[in-house]
Amino acid sequence: MLAVLQRVTQAKVVIDGQTVGQIGAGLLVLLCAEQGDSEFQADKLLAKMLKLRIFSDAAGKMNRSVQDLDGAGLAGGLLVVSQFTLAADVSGGNRPSFTNAAKPDEGRRLYDYFVAQAQASHPLVQTGQFAADMQVHLVNDGPVTIPLRIAPAL
């Protein structure tokens, strides 16, 4: 399972002119399920993401997680957006191949599972819409952008 985490001061997803998900300070999570992924990869990715210390403490050091923001009385939100294009393979030419991405039904199932687990573990979780044409607006804080990958079991 692949994710790109962006530390943001604000982010939102717009579909057909309507905002469907929105957060203040927190993490924009671009999420992609790959062939062979299961709940194991989703759980491991979520656990890592929630504990990742990429937010500044009082001394300005990256020493707080998105969960620590919530404990500090701040809105440490998660905005989870499906993005199968993270699985792009461009090694064979100029047109990306997405054969490494999970099939749509399995991708949706794992995305829904990830979101449900995130909602059970974190107080503020918003989403985009799976397989929709979305416009993602964000203010990247730092900028801090972290790629994460939990490899499928072979």
Give the start-to-end residue ranges of the domains of the chain: 2-146
pLDDT tens, residue by residue, 68-103: 886 555 658 999 999 999 999 999 989 999 999 999
> Does the pLDDT value for residue 153 go beyond 80?
no
Is the pLDDT reported for residue 133 higher than 80?
yes
How do residues 40-79 score in pLDDT, each as one tens digit?
Answer: 999 999 999 999 999 998 899 999 999 988 655 565 899 9
Residue among 84, 114, 126, 127 flagged as catalytic: 84
Catalytic residue among 83, 114, 126, 127: 83
C-alpha pair distances (Å), 62 with each of 44, 59, 148: 22, 9, 17
Catalytic-labelled residue, pool 9, 19, 85, 129: 85
Q: What pLDDT is stored for residue 70 in this prediction?
A: 61
Residue 84 among the catalytic residues: yes
pLDDT category of residue 132 using cuts at 50, 70 and 90: very high
pLDDT of the residue at 71: 59
- Going from the C-alpha of 150 to that of each of 2, 65, 76, 119, the distances in angstroms are 7, 19, 23, 20
pLDDT at residue 68 in the model: 87
Tens-place pLDDT, residues 135-146: 999 999 999 999
| pLDDT for residue 79 | 98
Active site residue 85: yes
- Look at the chain and count its residues: 154
| pLDDT at residue 35, rounded to an integer | 95
How many angstroms separate the CA atoms of 117 and 36, rounded? 19
Percent of the chain whose predicted confidence (pLDDT) is above 70: 95
Look at the domain 2-146 and name its fold. Answer: D-tyrosyl-trna(Tyr) Deacylase; Chain: A; (3.50.80)
